[in-house]
Amino acid sequence: MARDQVLKEQWDLLVAKLSSQFSDNDPLELDAIIYLVGVQELGQYHRSFKKDEKVNLMHIAICRLLEPYGYYEFEYFDEEGWPHYKVKEELPPLKAGEQAILMKEAIVSYFLEKEYMQ
């Protein structure tokens, strides 16, 4: 089976599983899943986040998701428990569709690593 088809099937399975757990089966979009990864990485599940904190959660998620690709490296946790990353390599210019594929691939890998899906 082609790599793109495998990714599509894994992505669809992940979206269905996350959507049933977090949104009453309304399909979650890519940004919502990135946000969930940020909350997972921060580990502060039972609190509300301000708008700027939500943006920071998405940044944390993107750094964590792209870390295995060599773009970011974890540096430290600050006094409030927020992880900080440094840029190791600039992302190449990608078209919107290419960005979405990279993020979906990284998210599927993340949830496979976390054993959330097989």
Residue ranges of domains in the chain: 3-113
Q: Where are the beta strands (DSSP E) in 1-113?
A: 72-77, 83-87
19-to-1, 78, 79, 111 alpha-carbon distances in Å: 26, 31, 33, 14
Look at residue 1 and tell me whether its pLDDT is greater than 70. Answer: no
Instruction: Extract the tokens encoding 67.
Output: 């870390």
Give the model confidence (pLDDT) of 72-106 as tens digits: 999 999 999 999 999 999 999 999 899 999 999 99
